[in-house]
Structure 1
């Protein structure tokens, strides 16, 4: 881990606590059967967890083909399949809490965890939907928890349109449900202001990427 990131580690004196869900979750219904749930500050005292994930997760860089050239993916990644132990017990607790809260709607537990490390304001993810696998044809859910520096998540109808902006700070939860992966797109844009490192944890059910 380079010195610039190490220098941005936060004070880690507060206990990490996974909060309640229930009525604290605010739902916004979108068009075409999609919806968004937001729970600000769901995981409190998350600085210590952020540091553990930053230093202990086996982050890797990837490259992807874009048109006629290969480019670096502008973030670091790590994926935990359903049989892989998660890198911290707090994430197990969070995954179990989400599975219990959404059991009636989802009908199955969250199984996998994808982690992204946005190192600074230059890292990003382009407009996309999680449509690899079942998300291409079925309603599903993707639950995102943010740690570290605040960043904005943008959401717009698939194919273009006015974007909605959701600010995501440390410990914030955002869940995309219904047809959201098929009928809407989301992105984390580059920031025009300096930004410290941020970690995004995405929980998904089986067969959704």
Structure 2
């Protein structure tokens, strides 16, 4: 069973998405990279977490790592362009992100990748989303987190700078833009603490993974 720690701020609330605009806080990272953060963008996010937990056909994956095949330490589901999203709130979120970022990005968000971190043992290693166009072009990846907050760490690729930490959950939004996928890396580390489950929803443009 997947444990979950509800937020008192979200208790009993209907799921609603707030505005973006001036509520978004941008932080330049250097080397052409930046991040935008909008805390508690989704109100009633605990209810959305429960709906996604039940509605999404989660599956495990195995991947080659060095000379062996290992389990991916989280559950996954990818929704490709044109595929119906598992909850109408996600479609609304994508439309609002398009309205806010399309002029700057030059295109719309097309896909949604969902990850379920069941507890502190689930994680994602240091990486950039550089499969596809993200390896050579500036792009954006918008992540909405629901469920128990987990740290998202960012550091410059190749070292030479600080490691940044953002606790994301309960409806928080973070957008990584500019050269962030090429010049910075991000990770969700493992934890030995008792941690409830978190779902992250990553909206990406066409050809970015």
Q: Indicate whether the TM-score tops 0.5.
A: yes
The answer for the alignment partner of 1:147 in structure 2 is: 146
Deviation at 1:12, TM superposition (A): 6.4
Indicate yes or no: 2:196 matched with 1:196: yes
* CA deviation profile, 1:50-88 (whole Å, cap 9, x unmatched): 001001101010001111111100000000001100000
- The unaligned stretches of length 5 or more in structure 1 are none
Indicate yes or no: 2:43 matched with 1:8: no
Q: Equivalents in 2 of 1:9, 1:157: separation in Å?
A: 32
The answer for the alignment partner of 1:184 in structure 2 is: 184
Indicate yes or no: 2:99 matched with 1:120: no
Aligned length, in residue pairs: 205
Q: Equivalents in 2 of 1:110, 1:138: separation in Å?
A: 15
Q: Equivalents in 2 of 1:42, 1:32: separation in Å?
A: 28
Match of 2:31, SS?
Answer: helix
For the 8 Å contact 2:116–2:197, the answer to whether it is kept is: yes
For the 8 Å contact 1:9–1:51, the answer to whether it is kept is: no
The answer for the alignment partner of 1:34 in structure 2 is: 33
The answer for the alignment partner of 2:168 in structure 1 is: 168
Deviation at 1:46, TM superposition (A): 1.0
Match of 1:146, SS?
Answer: strand
The answer for the alignment partner of 1:59 in structure 2 is: 58
Match of 1:102, SS?
Answer: helix
Q: Equivalents in 1 of 2:5, 2:198: separation in Å?
A: 11
For the 8 Å contact 1:146–1:200, the answer to whether it is kept is: yes
* CA deviation profile, 1:91-112 (whole Å, cap 9, x unmatched): 0000000001001110111000
For the 8 Å contact 2:121–2:191, the answer to whether it is kept is: yes
Deviation at 1:9, TM superposition (A): 7.2
Runs of 4+ in 1 over 6 A off after TM superposition: none
What TM-score, normalized by structure 2, do the two folds share? Answer: 0.95
Say what the alpha-carbon RMSD is for the aligned residues. Answer: 1.3
Deviation at 1:192, TM superposition (A): 2.9
What TM-score, normalized by structure 1, do the two folds share? Answer: 0.95
Deviation at 1:48, TM superposition (A): 1.2
Indicate yes or no: 2:107 matched with 1:111: no
For the 8 Å contact 1:22–1:101, the answer to whether it is kept is: yes
For the 8 Å contact 1:20–1:42, the answer to whether it is kept is: yes
